[in-house]
Structure 1
Amino acid sequence: MGALPKHDHYYSPSSHYPSLLQEVVDDSQLGSAGLLIRSYKRSFNGFAAKLTGDEARKISSRNDVVSVFPSKKLQLQTTRSWDFLGLPQPTMIKNPTGVASDVVVGIIDSGIWPELPSFDDDGFGPPPVKWKGVCKGGTNFTCNNKIIGARYYYSQSARDDQGHGTHTASTAVGNVVKDASFYGLASGVARGGFPSARIAVYQACGGFGCSSADILAAFDDAIADGVDVISVSIATLEAVDIDADTVAIGGFHAARRGILTVHSAGNSGPRSATTCSVAPWLLSVAASTIDRKFESKVVLGNGKIVTGISVNAFADNGPESPLVHRDQSLGCVGVCCLDSIVVKNKIVISASVVPFPAAGVDFQTLDAVISYQNSNKNPVAKLQKSDTVRDPGAPLVASFSSRGPNSIISGILKPNVSAPGVDILAGFSPVASLTDDADDKRQYSFNVLSGTSMSCPHVTGVVAYLKTLHPDWSPSALKSAILTTATPMHPGNVQDPSITYASTEFAYGSGQLNPVKATNPGLVYETSAQDDVNLLCNLGYTSDRLRTVTGDKNSSCIARADPTAIKDFNYPSITTDVSGTRASFKISFLRTVTNVGTAKSTYTSQVVPTMGRLKIEVTPPVLSFGSLNEKKSFTVTVSGGNFPAKGGFLASAALNWSDGAHSVRSPIVIYTKE
């Protein structure tokens, strides 16, 4: 039902029942109050209720209702990484003043295991004065000065019995823990991106996923509690309209309160147009590899040795075992050779933890294994214990990571940025199954997981660090700093001839996360409230619906909806779909930057072509600033054409603004649909 009425800080749910529900409920004997599941009343206006299809349609016809949609199940998206990103340990322990940070990270996930060393509060003072949250973690759950808030929705405790929430929280802002490993594998120091940050945990997920109703309840509380950044490693299987997307709805209201939401892009790759995180106010994160991988040698019965990707806690498995390939459901007890995705002849799979000795091999190696198997009546092999080895080809986009283009808002480039999401070692719930296999009884306080769930908290940790350095930066400024300083990736790392739209930008967004450069971006693209209004109007919102969403009675949509006008949304990237003008096009994009670098500075534009034939002009080509926070506008005009008559096609480039000390990069992507 949109924003809260401005005169009510804590909105009464009386408008939800009995009056509103009684108007639509067909069975008066059931009682409208009994139908209400949740009432959202702290940070935005809305409710979840048990309704029939007809009742839902009646409510959706009301002018004061923005949208009605069924509650769906969303899925959890499944340390060396911080060194790989260039963020050294000493800078992460304390903030520049030398004291523990008062930045609070809200983790919406499966809960947390508070007793792990990753969440010890040694060195932390009491919670910041600004904190309005509570510790309601349920039975046998105690907060401390590191975990300062806890709430549960899915079960009766915020304690994590899945492991996912513990893993994401420790990856983002977990303490420095020495001698961490997975049964001796990947041994070393485990740490989050910004260990000095506090944690507020919102348990909205369990073994069967996360319901829309619970996710919205977590957003409602987190915003009102006063978190500084929200991390959501949760995704739908496909993109939905933003007024039916619980993360987009919660993230919108969070952004209007100055809180940035970091969101997993999804694990539906490598197909194009699969990113489920589409709203411009969300920071959507893809997953990529780091320069470490886990390998095991597989010794075949004929003496041939092949190498596979593997994480296992097994020593050499003694006697040779039957060789089974491809299908672990066959119950192999020795080696299971799993098919992998090959990108430019490179393996980009994750070394999953499984309950038996196993290794994943590329297709060429698999052919050699199958050849041996077919030529022997009793094929056997032995899997050696996994080793940690260096991967010089990193970063590569993970095959599972969802790609763009944005299937809902074509003028907004998604995902936004890539971060480590393959073979990530982090804290884990000691009561959770390591593999979700009923026969696997192992339990451990660390685990190796892969997914955009793992890449999302890497960005969250950096946002928490930036928020400490720049407490006055808006959510869009924080997002812009990360996007415009990301390290561009070579297209060859993500191209696959079988995948349409296989460009760097549609896989990585702006590129690979660069935490150090993000602290001093020079210029930022800030989004105003009017930008949001214009975008919603051009998506087809009426003035009445817009006012309900924003809570601003002065908002209005004065022109007819024009989706193509979204191109001028003040975003750090530039993209548009020109499917209807393949022969020839000329499009201008308006952008405004804010100076956050050096007071007196001059930036010169440079266009770097990467793919396709585009003519790009920047007007003016030079921007001169005389003070901090000064704003300057410019226009980017892109022209081209002669795209193929059929099939998807794209052309890309990049715009760099440089003053000699800063380089502010914006990807430019022009594409056609199939």
Structure 2
Amino acid sequence: MSLQSYIVYLGSHSHDPGATSEDYENVKNSHYKLLGSYVGSEEKARDAVIYSYTKNINGFAANLDENEAQEIAKHPDVVSVYENKMHEMHTTRSWSFVDMDNTRRNHIGALWTKAQFGRDIIIATLDSGVWPESKSFSDEGMGPVPSKWRGYCENNTKDGVPCNRKLIGARYFNKGMFAMAPDLNITNSARDTEGHGTHTLSTAGGNFVSGASYFGYANGTAKVCTDADLLAGFEAAMHDNVDVISLSIGSAPITERLEYLDDTIAIGSLHAVARGIMVVSSAGNNGPDGTIVNVAPWLLTVGASTIDRDYLSFLRLGQGELIKGASQESKSLPQNRLYPLINSSDAAAHGVSRDDAALCDYSSLDPKKVKGKIVVCMNGVVGRVTKGIVVRDAGGAGMVIANEKEDGDNLIADPHFLPATMISYKDSLTLFSYMKSTKKPLANISPQISRIGVKRAPVMADFSSRGPSNSTPEILKPDVIAPGVDILAAFPPGIDPTGLIDDIHSTPYAFMSGTSMSCPHVSGVAGLLKSVHKDWSPAAIKSAIMTTARTRDNKGKPITDYTGQEATPFSHGNGHIRPNRAADPGLVYDNTIDDYLNFLCALGFNATYLSKLTPMSSFRCPSKSMKLENFNYPAISVPALHKTCTVTRTLKNVGMPGTYRVRVEAPSGVDIVVTPKELSFSQVGEEKVFRVKMTSKKEKIGKGYTFGRMAWYDSKHVVRSPIVVNVIA
């Protein structure tokens, strides 16, 4: 039977803060002893082990056959055994758009000032590495490295990463990748050779750079890819005393409730949160119908939306009509002439179907038919930038990407390899009508221009994964949205940001889109909040960000989906982040590690296993499991309303004494009663419980999910929560 690498998860450790290298070695030896009893000897176990997790997480990764893995899983000390799998990366105006502009009203943004720019806060990203020479990681003007930092830079090879007072640590973890793909050319370095990690790290905590401004914390980075590597990255970040872990990575969606402890991100982040470390994750790029990832309630999960910057490129038709398009390509055609237009389906190469040619697939176009012309390609399947390369290589002068009906008005500005623009479905009808009306259709594509504040934003990105969670729909995900479309950040030189072969777009800063880009925005905000409120738990920081978020756009209208329809909490969660408001939320929904373990009890996990997660605690599952809808989350989700249901929540005061009143917008077809209707707080830290009773109206027509909202407010604060109800009867 062939070998596969597996994670054997044993829970947590009972190390005291003064644990020594000898203590860690003893734990490692215990792993060899356990594994040796299954593979024949401790010597064979040492050869099989890839990683031994000894500091915070207790467990190991090893090469095993399936039968060995199944037998080890039966051991009473083993919490779970699961395959080591690959993880997917969830691949400046954005900070201004969330009201954090450093020049607005001629003063530094309020939260930045309060947080002293994140002084002594350490953000770690688990990603593809870092390009240390970027100006975003300059330590000019930085103070000393925080005294709590226990990490280091791996800089002992020619490709190593030198550190400074800004980029204070960089490590790589690739043993899991070697175990899965030994033939790959894998470098022993934390240096970024893809660009993803550099981009996300500079967004979360990059320095101020003229023309590409991002703010300044101390940064640590870990280069990871597989489950085994990722768990090692989590353990290193915890041991190194970071404050925030930013995770623009996702695994396959958790589909069964008992898969929580077979998921490296869920496990690693639970250990981190138990140590007071905030973990921020991306929601995934499988939208609009894809399943949400990173759904654990201790994670802050971020979806992606647009900002109010336009990257326009106009298509000028032969009769003079202008059609607005989107492009980031700086090249343009000479504006003193018009070029022949051709539909790519009419330019199919010999033996190629019109459908393949319509999409401008590889080798689908006849160079004789497209040379010197502007080619109209249909959106879909083939990557948009790839279409441009196909047109360019066939001799085309320019390209228009025309949306299909299902794409609607969703326009994405891409860094194309030739003059190009993307147009809406409605405008594509105008274009094709013109092309049919004349024997010699002509056009030109204007240079790209940028505008700020004109278009409505935020709008949900079509790629951003939506809820509900398949495994735990009682926890609404994503939690919030943040800028994730056309985000400018640092990028390694010599690498093409499009990910294609050509490197002509190599640049120290690049635009990228994805929930990978929205996640580090929130990681940065979490770092600032931690700097201002050092005594806040990760749950309190998360609640502050969620309950101060907004579901209206810059024009005062409800946030819309890319189709123009009003978005729901399944796409935007609590809404678009407002960092300055989050610094003073008034009230928070707080949670402890025991609350999260109670949540796992309610999912059906064995109490004996859960006790291994916190050996320093006397945790026991409650005699009566909590109702998942009652988990103290800053959002309310009831996935099955049978006539009536009552949920409870607890609010903690983190502001001045005061009285809060409730305001409710009930979901359609549901009556809601909140008791009490007022909550009075006399001191910081005081907690109050309230109940929300939901009743399905008898006159309700139809069933299914319906959406509302609730807010507690005083003279200064508004503490918002969405309400999501699936009406069954």
* TM-score, L = length of structure 2: 0.83
Give the drift of 1:235. Answer: 1.4
Give 1:526's aligned residue: 590
Q: How many Å separate the matches in 2 of 1:63 and 1:353?
A: 55
Q: How many Å separate the matches in 1 of 2:491 and 2:334?
A: 26
Distance 1:521 1:341, change over 3 A: farther
Give the one of 255, 266, 269 matched to 1:248: 266
Q: Deviations over 1:457-494 (max 9, x none)?
A: 11111111111111111000000000010012489644
Distance 1:17 1:251, change over 3 A: closer
Q: Deviations over 1:310-340 (max 9, x none)?
A: 1113133677324131256561124333354
- Mapped contact 1:170–1:191 kept (Cα < 8 A): no
Q: Indicate whether 1:438 and 2:494 are aligned.
A: no
Q: Indicate whether 1:261 and 2:279 are aligned.
A: yes
Q: Indicate whether 1:324 and 2:380 are aligned.
A: no
Q: How does 1:217-366 map to 2 (within 5 A)?
A: 217-240=232-255, 241-271=259-289, 274-301=291-318, 303-316=320-333, 320=339, 321-326=373-378, 331-333=390-392, 334-338=397-401, 340=403, 347-366=409-428
Give the drift of 1:366. Answer: 2.1
Distance 1:212 1:371, change over 3 A: farther
Give 1:513's aligned residue: 577
Give the one of 135, 138, 145 matched to 1:117: 135
Q: Which amino acid aligns with 2:417?
A: P
Distance 1:537 1:513, change over 3 A: same
Give the one of 642, 647, 662 matched to 2:717: 662
Distance 1:25 1:377, change over 3 A: farther
Distance 1:566 1:314, change over 3 A: same
Q: Indicate whether 1:46 and 2:68 are aligned.
A: no
3-state SS in 1 of match to 2:12? coil
Give the one of 150, 161, 173 matched to 1:132: 150
3-state SS in 2 of match to 1:526? coil
Give the one of 68, 76, 79 matched to 1:55: 68
Count of aligned pairs = 643
Please identify, of 104-113 and 293-302, the stretch whose mean Cα deviation from structure 2 is larger. 293-302
Unaligned 5+ runs, structure 1: 181-189, 205-209
- Mapped contact 2:497–2:512 kept (Cα < 8 A): no
Distance 1:2 1:494, change over 3 A: farther
- Mapped contact 2:461–2:562 kept (Cα < 8 A): no
Q: How many Å separate the matches in 2 of 1:308 and 1:227?
A: 44
Give the drift of 1:96. Answer: 3.9
Give the drift of 1:404. Answer: 0.7
Q: How does 1:172-187 map to 2 (within 5 A)?
A: 172-178=204-210, 180=211
3-state SS in 1 of match to 2:720? strand
Q: Deviations over 1:124-173 (max 9, x none)?
A: 12211111111124534210000111101243111112111111111112
Q: How many Å separate the matches in 2 of 1:341 and 1:629?
A: 54
Unaligned 5+ runs, structure 2: 1-8, 103-107, 175-186, 340-372
Q: How many Å separate the matches in 1 of 2:698 and 2:192?
A: 55
Distance 1:34 1:640, change over 3 A: same
Q: Deviations over 1:206-264 (max 9, x none)?
A: xxxx2111111111100110000000111135345321222111110000000010000
Q: How many Å separate the matches in 2 of 1:468 and 1:347?
A: 41
Give 1:590's aligned residue: 648
Give the drift of 1:532. Answer: 1.3
Give 1:384's aligned residue: 446
Larger Rg: 2
Give 1:151's aligned residue: 171
3-state SS in 2 of match to 1:618? strand
Q: Deviations over 1:254-311 (max 9, x none)?
A: 0000001000001111116x11120000000011111112111123455443221111
Q: How many Å separate the matches in 1 of 2:637 and 2:301?
A: 16
Give the drift of 1:346. Answer: 6.2
3-state SS in 1 of match to 2:523? helix
Q: How many Å separate the matches in 2 of 1:553 and 1:172?
A: 33
Q: How does 1:271-670 map to 2 (within 5 A)?
A: 271=289, 274-301=291-318, 303-316=320-333, 320=339, 321-326=373-378, 331-333=390-392, 334-338=397-401, 340=403, 347-373=409-435, 381-390=443-452, 391-489=454-552, 493-494=559-560, 503-552=567-616, 554-559=618-623, 565-578=627-640, 581=642, 584=643, 586-598=644-656, 600-609=657-666, 611-641=667-697, 649-670=704-725
Please identify, of 225-234 and 613-622, the stretch whose mean Cα deviation from structure 2 is larger. 613-622
3-state SS in 1 of match to 2:475? coil
3-state SS in 1 of match to 2:83? coil
- Mapped contact 2:99–2:578 kept (Cα < 8 A): yes
Q: How does 1:167-206 map to 2 (within 5 A)?
A: 167-178=199-210, 180=211, 190-192=212-214, 195-204=215-224
Q: How many Å separate the matches in 1 of 2:480 and 2:659?
A: 27
Task: Tell me the C-alpha RMSD between the 2 structures.
Answer: 2.8
**Identity of aligned pairs, percent?**
38
Distance 1:23 1:92, change over 3 A: farther
Q: How many Å separate the matches in 1 of 2:432 and 2:70?
A: 57
Give the drift of 1:556. Answer: 2.4
Give the drift of 1:99. Answer: 7.8
Distance 1:353 1:232, change over 3 A: same
Give the one of 198, 201, 215 matched to 2:230: 215
- Mapped contact 1:100–1:125 kept (Cα < 8 A): no
Distance 1:99 1:60, change over 3 A: closer
